[in-house]
Structure 1
């Protein structure tokens, strides 16, 4: 039996702690805002007016912490009683490729299923479509331009057995 496992590396579990809060008050939102500023405003050149669009007060903000440092975030809003929208998924540059965004998406999916949602919806930057496709999101509709970046609409149906 050992022969079959030789040379295979086990997928390492991301060492990260998640916290979430609704609204714009408090440390978690401040940390989410810092990550979004670093990634979207500083790195990608999106204006703060577009990034902070006035909808954060009604959203739930997730932040992942590595050794108490905020490294990954997402904003989640309810579209209707069955659909949850995921937005503003961002990982600090030095924390990328560690599985943190994947772990964050897993946490959001788990929470959505526990809360009775039937599907997840997002608008992915074109460069991130393959990341979401690996997590069972499917592209639909035509590409569209937002903040001078091409995006695709994607959805994932949630089933109890997922």
Structure 2
């Protein structure tokens, strides 16, 4: 059961006709085509492999076929992605949350997480978990996630496990 695109009205500064600012629409949605998946993988390569130095074999872990993928677009341009996998016992795992550098700080991470959590809730999951890179733990805490366990390294990057109830 798929959810449709969530559209967020957004005002963008610019020089619209007559000096008015144009209205823009952004989309965050569940991926349904190979082209959309390719765009998501391009974002992951850019953010994790090129920018953060994660080895390609770790980033492209062979689990994409078992996951539900999400894409964020602004005026048709892919700007962010995430994936959701079954973790067992009523828990879903959010993974590979990535926003292209020029678009960080514009609310894309929160929009992605809202969409991913909605899909998990719709699918009957009671909780979601994720492994947050330490610098963004505060972001997830603001979204209601709680740190569980000790800090650990994944691909040479410090992480913390986090969980959130969907009930």
Structure 1 length-normalised TM: 0.85
Alpha-carbon contact 2:28-2:111 (below 8 Å) kept: no
- Pair 1:51 & 2:31 matched: no
Q: How many residues align?
A: 146
- Distance in 2, matches of 1:31 and 1:127, equals 25
Alignment match of 1:21 (pick from 31, 42, 45): 31
Q: CA RMSD in A?
A: 1.6
Deviations 1:28-82 (A, max 9, x none): 1101101001100111011111100111111111000011111010011011251
Q: Identify unmatched segments of 5+ residues in structure 2.
A: 1-7, 11-24
**What secondary structure is seen at the aligned counterpart in 1 of 2:47?**
helix
Deviations 1:79-123 (A, max 9, x none): 125111000000001111110110110111112112211000000
> Per residue, is there more strand in 1 or in 2?
2
Alignment match of 1:113 (pick from 99, 117, 121): 121
Task: State the 1:21 CA deviation.
Answer: 3.2
Alpha-carbon contact 1:19-1:28 (below 8 Å) kept: no
- 1:87 alignment partner in structure 2: 95
Superposition pairs of residues 1-162 of structure 1, within 5 angstroms = 15-21=25-31, 26-159=34-167
Q: Identify unmatched segments of 5+ residues in structure 1.
A: 1-11
